[in-house]
Amino acid sequence: MSTHSRDQWIALHAQYLVDPQVSRHGLLMDAQIFLDSAHGIAQTMSDVMSEDDIPNSDRLCSALNGIALLVEMGRRCVAQAELRIMTGGNRIQK
């Protein structure tokens, strides 16, 4: 059995698979979607935390991991788009 929690496993195994034909603009749009989603989760958590009711710590950890994953996916999209801009290409770099 793994020594990692379910959330740690998800964080360790998350991937963003990029279509080799996607444009730089498409990558930046994906990044925007990931970051908007993370922002929405963070705002919802802020609303919940400002109430007197403290959420379940396991759910709070899952939500924070979700935000971290969405931000990381957005960061990877931006990095891939920047790389394509710098190299003048539209190919995936590994």
pLDDT per position as a tens digit, 26-62: 999 999 999 999 999 998 888 877 666 666 778 788 8
Q: Is residue 13 one of the residues assigned to a domain?
A: no
Q: Is residue 93 one of the residues assigned to a domain?
A: no
What confidence category does residue 1 fall into, taking pLDDT thresholds of 50, 70 and 90? very low
Domain region containing 44: 23-87
In Å, what is the CA distance from 75 to each residue of 30, 82, 94? Answer: 10, 10, 15
Q: Is residue 10 one of the residues assigned to a domain?
A: no
In Å, what is the CA distance from 14 to each residue of 25, 31, 39? Answer: 23, 15, 19
User: What predicted TM-score, i.e. pTM, was given to this entire model?
Assistant: 0.71
Q: Residue 54 burial by CB count (10 A; 0-12/13-18/19+): exposed, middle or buried?
A: exposed
Q: Is residue 11 one of the residues assigned to a domain?
A: no
Q: Is residue 12 one of the residues assigned to a domain?
A: no
Q: Is residue 69 one of the residues assigned to a domain?
A: yes
Q: Is residue 51 one of the residues assigned to a domain?
A: yes
Give how many domains the chain has, as a whole number. 1
Q: Is residue 53 one of the residues assigned to a domain?
A: yes
